[in-house]
Amino acid sequence: MSRHLSLCSLATDAGQEAPRRCISCPISDAHPVFTLGEDGKHQCEFDNVAVEARQPLPTSYGAAAGVAVVRRGLVVRQRDDGRGVVTAMDVVGPGQAFRTSTAAPDGQLHAHAVTGYAVDRTLLCIYEKPELPETNLSGELYALLGESLDRVERFIVARARPAAVSRLAALLCVLQDSLGPRHHGGIPGSLQQQDMASLLFMRHESVCRALRSLQNKELISRDGDGIVILDRAGLELV
């Protein structure tokens, strides 16, 4: 994991017009958050944090929890009950936000802390303060956090379906909506079957059988790049 104090690579001197945004910033086209740093340059208040594939997310930033936006890659969020029992919650893709968690002074996670890991190499933009900045951007961040709650609810609904094939079909629909056009409507191969099993509280073998069933129905196809959804309407009816 690497951490950089300033997200924006386009910082300018004091008195000059602040940079618009990072070129690949998923948050806003017009309202980035900039302050005047000690070096007299405008700096973005979000930290740029890179997390390598299959590595845990950072759990402590400053004195309080903040908010993170996925700039690149995929994140599986988990909830830790404080006794070592970890439950997968949802998948967060590019342009989506989630609340970060902090560790106690002894380094231990608080009870019910939200943790997670990077599915592939992931770039996060983290704002490490409990209150969002008082700018036009805060409205967009609140909207993204609201969407994260809706996303978690959809994962819960998928898990509640009685049959394994139906659960997986619902999960694939949620994933397609969550990952958006950057993945061309498909599910990347970096999101492994074991990840899906954890998200659905199912055995890995059950996910394999369910995928094969959906493929035999010609609702999906699979190749080296991942899963392609061929019939979304049919998938929703499973």
Residue-wise pLDDT tens digits, 181-204:
666 678 999 999 999 999 999 999
CATH 1.10.10.10 maps onto the chain at 161-236
Identify the CA nearest to 49 among candidates 111, 13, 100, 112: 100
Mean pLDDT of 120-143: 75
Q: Which comes out higher in pLDDT, residue 50 or 21?
A: 50
Asked whether 80 and 86 are in contact (CB, 8 A), the reply is yes
Kindly indicate whether the domain formed by 161-236 is annotated with CATH number 2.40.110.10. Answer: no
With H, G, I as helix, E, B as strand and everything else as coil, classify residue 84. coil
CATH 2.60.120 maps onto the chain at 2-135
Instruction: Work out the angle between the directed axes of helices 193-200 and 164-179 (0-180°, nearest 10).
Output: 110
Whether the predicted pLDDT of 207 surpasses 90: yes
Asked whether 226 and 220 are in contact (CB, 8 A), the reply is no
Mean pLDDT of 26-43: 53
Provide the 10 A C-beta neighbour count for residue 193.
17
Query: What integer best gives the mean pLDDT of the chain?
Result: 78
Mean pLDDT of 172-177: 93
pLDDT category at 133 given cuts 50, 70, 90 is low
Lowest mean pLDDT among 148-152, 181-185, 204-208, 216-220: 181-185
Whether the predicted pLDDT of 206 surpasses 50: yes
| CATH code given to domain 2-135 | 2.60.120
199: its two tokens: 């998200």
Q: HSE, CB side, 13 Å, CA atoms: give it for residue 202.
A: 27
